[in-house]
Amino acid sequence: MIKKLISITLITLVHLWPISGSTQQTKSQLTVNGDGWRLVRSVQLGDSGKYIHMVLINLERDTDKSVYGAAINKICSSETDFCRIRFWNEERYIPQSTSFTDGQFKTLRAEYTFNRAGSVQEIRYACTVLPDKGQCFSN
Here the CATH number for the domain that contains residue 65 is 3.10.310
Instruction: Band the pLDDT of 139: cuts 50, 70, 90.
Output: confident
Distance CA 70, CA 120 (A): 19
Evaluate whether residue 118 is within a structural domain: yes
Evaluate whether residue 126 is within a structural domain: yes
Domain limits for position 59? 27-137
List pLDDT tens digits, range 18-43: 333 332 223 454 678 889 999 999 99
Q: How many domains does the chain have?
A: 1
Evaluate whether residue 19 is within a structural domain: no
At 30 the pLDDT is 61
Distance CA 33, CA 75 (A): 9
More confident residue, 12 or 129: 129
Evaluate whether residue 73 is within a structural domain: yes
Evaluate whether residue 69 is within a structural domain: yes
At 133 the pLDDT is 80
List pLDDT tens digits, range 41-90: 999 999 999 999 999 999 999 999 999 999 999 999 989 999 999 999 99
Catalogue the long-range contacts made by 12-16 (C-beta closer than 8 Å, 24 or more residues apart). Answer: none
List pLDDT tens digits, range 90-117: 999 999 999 989 999 999 999 999 999 9
Evaluate whether residue 79 is within a structural domain: yes
Evaluate whether residue 21 is within a structural domain: no
Evaluate whether residue 20 is within a structural domain: no
Q: Are strands 82-88 and 51-57 parallel, antiparallel or unpaired?
A: parallel
